[in-house]
Structure 1
Amino acid sequence: MEVVSRVTPLLLLVLISIFEQGSAETEGLFYPYGLANGDEMNPVEDDGASRELPLSITFKFFGKDYKSLFVNNNGLISFDNAVSHYTPAAFPLTNGEIFVTPFWADVDNNRGGSIYYRETNDPDVLQKITGDMDKHLPDEHYIAKWAFIATWDKVGYFGSTSKKVNTFQTVLTSNGYQYFVILNYGDIQWTTGKASGGDPHTGLGGTPAQAGFNSGDDTHYFNIPGSRTMEVLKIRSTSNVYYPGRWVFKVDHFEVPGGCVFQAKFAKEGEEFWKEPTCNTKCLCNKKVTCVDEGCPDNTTCEPSGSFFTCKPTEKICF
């Protein structure tokens, strides 16, 4: 007991941060985070946010320049203004709100977890980003010169009566003339806070989390598959770069590697899909999306699949 009593609250936070960093690095997915890595922490406050954070570079996002940002507790990095909304709205939002959201939902770090962030030019971190980008997008020959890393570590949800937590991370990076966002997903156990209609015992139901990008107009936006549906719970197993739990985007002039953007949604390269819930229009992603009038074959039914729809064989009922 005497030894424990000498551990100050700050030292305890550092020790916890070191443990969390080790866990993330074991996964090989997250970039190092926590107090031991020089991060700052967001306030412990429901619907809170960081102060406005000046950047040492100009970050280009959907063709516009930004010199500062906010890290918001509810799973967003926003430009121009902090965002306190806790129930995710369907994109596009045309009220001028501009943000990246790895997981927009009603995070409550009073219920557990921490939100960390830092701007970095650390050579080891930049080398890791460069190596990852070389694996994912070798044709870009990308060499990272700068990064901003925000991590939501083991965060709970508003109204929670469970121990369910989520861990996810956003990385903004640039080589001086290209600008990318990397989204990393660890364990995702809940989708919805109580005030968004979720079950306080399970963290499910209601209006589930949104993941993607909003530029503030009605044209430039993007939804990661599963957004605002129960499927977002499985985001840890999805990817556009064949690395489950990671999504990579070029954001100066928006591009989604590994597939096509169609109606602000993602289709994998080579994927066939139907674009509407009646399955009357069949489409193919082959560098770009082409569509033809074609319904479901006989003995199949039209059902949701990812961001779109597919024709699945009708199950036979045996008596």
Structure 2
Amino acid sequence: MASPRKSFPLLVFVLISSLGQGFCQSKTLLYPYGPSQGDKTTPVEDDGTSGEVPISEEFKFFSNGYRSLYVNNNGVISFKTAVSQYTPDAFPLTEGETFVTPFWGDVDNDLAGMVYYRESKDADLLNTITKDMEKHLPDLHYAATWAFVATWENVAYYGAASKKTNTFQAVLTTDGYRYFAILNYEKIQWTTGTASGGDPETGLGGTPAQAGFNSGDDTHYFNIPGSRTPEVLNIKSTSNVNYPGRWIFRVDNFEVPGGCVFQANFAMEGEEFWKDSTCTTKCNCNSSGNVACVDEACPQGATCEPSGSFFK
């Protein structure tokens, strides 16, 4: 897991006065964050990290328990070690890399933006999370007892020659028995820094950002649709709980509500697709959360082309 060394950008980023102020606007899907919530901040530096952050509750991730974590500027919450890498590798990473990544890309908050984080048992926050879980997943009967909130607010990309910024959030939460990650996307305007091959004017191209989960082995990982493709720019309009901009996952015994996981990719309930590029096996995500596949040939005269994570 290594990236080429950066050189300092020669481009000038024009700051605007509203960036990095640490407050939430009304009608946002983000949970409250910033100085008014008692948040801490990561260092204002390219590829920075919070350092190890102890947490009072053990958080279970892919069956393993953790008592500390790292909030990394480049859009990663990691459990074993800090992550300074700025160009995302494709999952799975199999050398013990264990992290939640709402948007692993080349953030440079030395140019613009802030990264906030806090552990919380605040009753108002937990009540809001509980109500949201009831709204999105009513059959769970989930009541939050603990949360960890990390927010990347109006963060720029490395080498930026534009005012484009991203705002997104990762929330870890538990009721003492089950463990969830909630990923919220408020604004996504760029996918790639210049050291990852991106265009300085657009923040696009090159190797785009990765979103999902990695356990450190070759089996337990997950890619949110569009990861490491230009389509990740549209992640704000996607969801697995019918709420654009929000994804919810159970992460102790990994489950993705609202669909199926097939070859580490997400299929919506009822979605049909071909198993691979040979287009000889047709698959369907059924209501039980399982994928059923049957031998079937692509009809004569029809086309079978990549579409999102699958062939259709």
Using structure 2 for the length normalisation, give the TM-score.
Answer: 0.92
Q: How much does 1:277 deviate?
A: 2.7
For the pair shown, the structure with the greater C-alpha radius of gyration is: 1
Distance 2:193 2:303 in 1: 33
What is the match of residue 309 of structure 1? 311
Instruction: Name whichever of 217-226 and 278-287 sits farther off.
Output: 278-287
Q: Which amino acid aligns with 2:153?
A: D
Q: How much does 1:26 deviate?
A: 1.7
1:88-119 Cα offsets, whole Å, 9 max, x none, are 00000011110000000000001111000000
Q: Which amino acid aligns with 1:47?
A: D
The structure where helix makes up a greater share of residues is 1
Q: Are residues 1:16 and 2:21 paired?
A: yes
1:215-235 Cα offsets, whole Å, 9 max, x none, are 001110000000000110010
Q: Are residues 1:171 and 2:176 paired?
A: no
1:217-267 Cα offsets, whole Å, 9 max, x none, are 111000000000011001001000000000000011100011111101111
Distance 1:129 1:154 in 2: 23
Q: How much does 1:297 deviate?
A: 2.4
Q: How much does 1:175 deviate?
A: 0.7
Q: How much does 1:280 deviate?
A: 2.3
Q: How much does 1:300 deviate?
A: 2.6
What is the match of residue 265 of structure 1? 265
What is the match of residue 27 of structure 2? 26
Matches within 5 A, 1:1-319: 16-17=21-22, 20-21=23-24, 23=25, 25-27=26-28, 29-286=29-286, 287=288, 288-310=290-312
**RMSD across aligned C-alpha pairs, in angstroms?**
1.5
Q: Which amino acid aligns with 1:149?
A: V
For residue 201 of structure 1, give the secondary structure of its aligned residue in structure 2: coil
Q: How much does 1:295 deviate?
A: 3.1
For residue 302 of structure 1, give the secondary structure of its aligned residue in structure 2: coil
Q: Which amino acid aligns with 2:142?
A: Y
Distance 2:279 2:44 in 1: 47
Distance 1:132 1:125 in 2: 11
Q: How much does 1:48 deviate?
A: 0.7
**Identical aligned residues as a percent:** 69
Q: How much does 1:16 deviate?
A: 2.6
What is the match of residue 6 of structure 1? none
Distance 2:59 2:51 in 1: 18
1:101-140 Cα offsets, whole Å, 9 max, x none, are 0000000001111000000111111000000000111111
Q: Which amino acid aligns with 1:304?
A: P
For residue 304 of structure 2, give the secondary structure of its aligned residue in structure 1: strand
Q: Which amino acid aligns with 2:50?
A: S
Q: Which amino acid aligns with 1:26?
A: K
Q: How much does 1:37 deviate?
A: 1.2
Q: Which amino acid aligns with 1:109?
A: N
The number of residue pairs the alignment matches comes to 294
Q: Which runs of 5+ in 1 are unaligned?
A: 1-11, 311-319
For residue 124 of structure 1, give the secondary structure of its aligned residue in structure 2: helix
Q: Which amino acid aligns with 1:87?
A: T
Q: How much does 1:299 deviate?
A: 3.5
Instruction: Name whichever of 285-294 and 143-152 sits farther off.
Output: 285-294
Using structure 1 for the length normalisation, give the TM-score.
Answer: 0.90
For residue 185 of structure 1, give the secondary structure of its aligned residue in structure 2: strand
Instruction: Name whichever of 290-299 and 39-48 sits farther off.
Output: 290-299
Q: How much does 1:298 deviate?
A: 3.4
Q: Which amino acid aligns with 1:236?
A: K
